[in-house]
Amino acid sequence: MGRTYIIKFALYSSLVLTVLFCLLLTISFSMVQNNYVYPRLLLGLAMLAYFSIGAALLRAGFVKSTGYMILAAYLLIALSTAWFWGMNAPVAVLLLTFVILLSSVMFGPRYILPTAALISSCLIFIQIAVIQKLSTPQTESLSNTSTFADVAVYSIILGVFAIVSWLSSTQLYKSIEATEQAKDALKKEKEGVEATLKLEKAKLRLAQDEERLRLYEFAELGQYTTMVLHDLANQVTTLSLSINDKSGEEKVPRHITQTMDRIEELIQTSNRR
């Protein structure tokens, strides 16, 4: 999202500068009758159409392609400046530096070295062309006294430098701040999960203790019940023997026999448990 915003700014600011450039050239050509600016005016109109195509691509969602178009345009302008006015021209140096900075801001640090290598290759080609007399830079302008036009050009270039750097630094700061906030939120969430886990462990330990206590109570109750049944069985057996002694050969009442069998069954069941 940050790089998209930077590409949008670079495109629309380039459109504005191109429109201003075309207006100034139009005034110079039509009102002042400076016919020599006519080729420059055509070049400005071509750049205006070029950036307009970039704006259409940007609206269509081709953000990266638009960035490549912007980078190619400024590279062409910088190399043209070096071709016509020499590599020692301050504007050419500033524009080439701006191209390297723009490639880093729009596409990331990994584009810095390839862009620098491409610029170096182009400069070597320009120098060979100068040696072979294929290019004759107009170096006379370098010895001229600076004017307010030079100040305006340098101010615009440096201003664009400053704005692009500020946008890049702002986006970087926001990214770092968002990362720190996410880190803090993750830390708090981790602490909350650890606290919840400790609480659940304590609840589980308490439930296990309660379960062991209930089992212990059930065991004690079973033992006590067995003892009671044993005592009751002994008492019933004694009572039965006493009745047999007194009744002689009379049979033991049926309900007493059933009670004794039931008690014996309960004792066996209790022992098995």
How many CB atoms neighbour CB 9 within 10 A?
Answer: 15
Along the 273 residues of the chain, how does pLDDT read in single tens digits?
567 878 888 888 888 888 888 888 888 777 777 777 788 788 888 988 999 999 999 889 898 899 899 999 989 988 988 888 888 888 888 888 888 888 888 888 888 888 889 999 998 998 898 888 887 887 776 666 666 666 776 677 667 767 766 766 676 667 777 787 888 888 888 888 888 888 888 888 888 888 888 887 777 777 777 777 666 666 666 666 665 555 544 555 565 666 666 666 666 665 555
DSSP state of 33: -
Give the residue ranges of DSSP H helices in the chain. Answer: 2-30, 38-59, 63-85, 90-107, 112-131, 148-247, 254-272
What is the pLDDT, as a whole number, of residue 270?
56
Question: What is the separation of C-alpha 36 from the centre of its chain, rounded to a whole number of angstroms?
Answer: 53
What is the pLDDT, as a whole number, of residue 72?
92
What is the pLDDT, as a whole number, of residue 121?
92
For 166-183, give one letter per residue: b (16+ CB within 10 A) or e: ebbeebeeeeeeeeeeee
**Alpha-carbon dihedral sign for residues 58, 63, 69, 72:** positive
**Alpha-carbon dihedral sign for residues 28, 34, 37, 42:** positive
**Overall pTM surpassing 0.85 (yes/no):** no
What is the pLDDT, as a whole number, of residue 49?
92
Expressed in angstroms, the distance from the first to the final Cα of the chain is 72
Question: What is the separation of C-alpha 133 from the centre of its chain, rounded to a whole number of angstroms?
Answer: 53
